[in-house]
């Protein structure tokens, strides 16, 4: 039994490792500017944005900025600072020369060079990360009943009570009558059946668990 538990634990560990590997392999790192890296476009065109528009960025993906740390850096900024190339109050500043930025949520991201003149020459990047569509909204709950459950079952009428009452058999030849058995003379055995079914279900669950641990 102990050996079976160890085997099951190893199988579970292998499954978790496989899931983590698959999640990691799904993430992609995009190098900004390709082999040229993060720099002023040669023709001062919005080359970085044109490149970003062709990509499909998702949550968990990363973009890599490669640049000379002695003369340049990367600023994450708001849209207003992006439009005006304002470098005085960035959201984040990166100066290591090999900056990998990971997207943790969907929506727009704005990056500019810390050199205002370079930013004005389109060393700037606008990225839109797609929304996560893997989670589905739960269906709406059904409206509560307007009346209690007891009201759904109307009380039997007087005519129904009369029909439910025990009916006497016709008189015999000697004048005596035989009463039909009432409902109370044969009590239901639902309680005994429930106990038996619960016992059988418990035994089945125990046997199933033992077989699962054994294999």
pLDDT at residue 81, as a whole number:
98
Torsion of CA 74, 35, 70, 57, to 10 degrees: 10
**Does 18 map to a domain?**
no
Is residue 132 very low, low, confident or very high in pLDDT (cuts 50, 70, 90)? confident
**High-pLDDT (> 90) share of the chain, %:** 45
pLDDT at residue 44, as a whole number:
80
Q: For the domain that residue 82 is a member of, what is the CATH number?
A: 2.60.40.420
**Does 212 map to a domain?**
no
pLDDT at residue 143, as a whole number:
54
pTM above 0.75, yes or no: no
| 54-89 per-position pLDDT tens digit | 999 999 999 999 999 999 999 999 999 999 999 999
Counts of helices then strands in the chain (DSSP H, E)? 7, 7
Lowest mean pLDDT among 25-34, 76-85, 94-103, 120-129: 25-34
Mean pLDDT computed over 127-143: 65
In order, the DSSP letters of 40-106 are --TT---HHHHHHHT--B-TT-EEEEE--TTT--EEEE-HHHHHHT--SS-SEEE-SSEEEEE--SS
Instruction: State how many domains the chain has.
Output: 1
Computed over every residue of the chain, the mean pLDDT equals 72
**Does 34 map to a domain?**
yes
């Amino acid at each position: 039994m102990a050996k079976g538990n160890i085997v099951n634990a190893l199988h579970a560990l292998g499954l978790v490792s496989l899931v983590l590997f698959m999640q990691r392999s799904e993430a992609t790192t995009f190098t900004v500017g390709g082999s040229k890296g993060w720099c002023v476009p040669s023709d001062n065109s919005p080359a970085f944005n044109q490149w970003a528009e062709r990509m499909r960025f998702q949550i968990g993906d990363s973009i890599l900025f490669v640049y000379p740390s002695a003369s340049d850096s990367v600023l994450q900024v708001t849209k207003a600072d992006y439009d005006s190339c304002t470098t005085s109050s960035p959201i984040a500043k990166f100066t290591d020369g090999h900056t990998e930025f990971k997207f943790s949520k969907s929506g727009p991201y704005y990056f500019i060079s810390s050199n205002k003149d370079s930013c004005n020459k389109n060393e700037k990047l606008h990225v839109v990360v797609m929304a996560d569509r893997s989670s589905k909204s739960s269906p709406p709950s059904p409206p509560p009943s307007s009346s209690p459950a007891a009201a759904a079952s109307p009380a039997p009428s007087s005519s129904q009570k009369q029909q439910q009452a025990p009916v006497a058999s016709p008189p015999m030849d000697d004048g005596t009558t035989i009463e039909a058995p009432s409902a109370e003379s044969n009590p239901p055995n639902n309680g005994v059946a429930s106990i038996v079914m619960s016992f059988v279900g418990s035994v089945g669950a125990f046997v199933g668990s033992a077989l699962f641990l054994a294999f």
